[in-house]
Amino acid sequence: MLRVENVSFSYEQLQVLDSLNLRIQRGEHVAIIGESGCGKSTLLKLLYGLMDLEQGEIYWEDEPILGPAYNLVPGPKFMKYLSQDFDLMPFITVSENISQYLSVFFPEELKERTQELLEMIELTEFADKKVKTLSGGQQQRVALARVLAQKPEVLLLDEPFGHIDNFLKNSLRRNVFNYLKENRITTLIATHDVNDVLPFADRAVVLRDKKIIARARPMELYRNPKTLYVASLFGEASMISIDVLKTYANTKRKIIVYAHEFRVSPSSGLQVTVKKAYPMGSHYLTESVGPEEETIFFNADKLFPKGKEVFLNVAIETINQRIQEAASVQSE
């Protein structure tokens, strides 16, 4: 188990993390999500021992993870960290970078392992190319293969697919996360990309204002976001009063509604005025203004012109689900 106990950290006078507590089971995949500057990367660096803790303790099983004040070489042997700086050897080949830390005393195993990882990152045809000739996305894939080559017990990933072309991301994610699951490698990933989280993470941890504000299975967070901030990490959402959605409702309690949960109605419902529409391929993400001048996003099958008045409805099942979630939050 990886244990984070009452951890705080500041950069000079700027506090980034405050009294964090976290438990991660062996083999678990946890996504750390939140807005830029919320402390995701800082947390990974502390977990790897790149910086000294201001307060608190970090353990892997019963072994403490300590910073540079205690270790000349950062990073425990059982853990690997892939940062946004790839730290590759530019003047040697892709294969040589991947196999750099593998034993030369077992040449057949080294060759097989290197080939396996080349296939995983879909760079087999670049095996003999020098790393300096590769694109940023290709270098990121080599860096990923290199940390996996060492078979860590714990893997820390900081935006691991950030530089990779969209058409490759999906297959690469499947290859990498399936490999990590099959080998029971405990994984923490700091990411802005919901596609790293919903399909692959066992649990998501949300950071904001120096603290963990939510933690649950990704689909639980997505279906029942406790705040608009949490919902916004998964997609466009709006906060709407129930009596505005359903005029017969005798409550001004507000609930969160995702853009895809609105349905356009020909003549009745929440009346909004279209402000702008964004083509998304399968639909138009439409920005509108509600009756109280609030911004409301909804998905539409067709393009509505600016100034068009549209009626929106939300399924009663969605409203009841959000009411129940809000009630459970108040009772905690």
Question: 310 CB contacts (<8 Å, ≥6 apart)?
Answer: 264, 271, 272, 273, 274, 286, 288, 298, 300, 304
In a domain, 87, yes or no: yes
CATH number of the domain that 211 lies in? 3.40.50.300
Is residue 274 within 8 A of residue 290, CB to CB? The reply is no
Q: In this structure, are 205 and 263 located in the same domain?
A: no
Count H helices and E strands in the chain, helices first. Answer: 10, 17
In a domain, 230, yes or no: no
Q: In this structure, are 50 and 154 located in the same domain?
A: yes
Residue 274 zone, left/alpha/beta (φ > 0; ψ -120 to 50; rest) = beta
Q: In this structure, are 213 and 240 located in the same domain?
A: no
Q: In this structure, are 215 and 288 located in the same domain?
A: no
Structural domain including 93 reads 2-224
CATH number of the domain that 264 lies in? 2.40.50.140
Q: In this structure, are 22 and 142 located in the same domain?
A: yes
End residue of a domain, out of 191, 224, 257: 224
For every one of its 332 residues, what pLDDT tens digit does the chain have, with 9 covering 90 and above?
Answer: 999 999 999 998 899 999 999 999 999 999 999 999 999 999 999 999 999 999 999 999 999 999 999 988 888 999 999 987 778 888 999 999 998 877 777 788 888 989 999 999 999 999 999 999 999 889 999 999 999 988 899 999 999 998 888 888 999 999 999 999 999 999 999 999 999 999 999 999 999 999 999 999 999 999 999 899 999 999 999 999 888 888 777 778 889 999 999 999 988 899 999 999 999 999 999 999 998 899 999 999 999 999 999 999 999 999 988 887 665 554 44
CA atoms of 226 and 173, how far apart (whole Å): 28
The separation between CA 72 and the C-alpha centre of its own chain, rounded to angstroms, equals 31
Number of compact structural domains in the chain: 2
In a domain, 33, yes or no: yes
Q: Which pTM was predicted?
A: 0.90
Q: In this structure, are 286 and 258 located in the same domain?
A: yes
Q: In this structure, are 122 and 83 located in the same domain?
A: yes
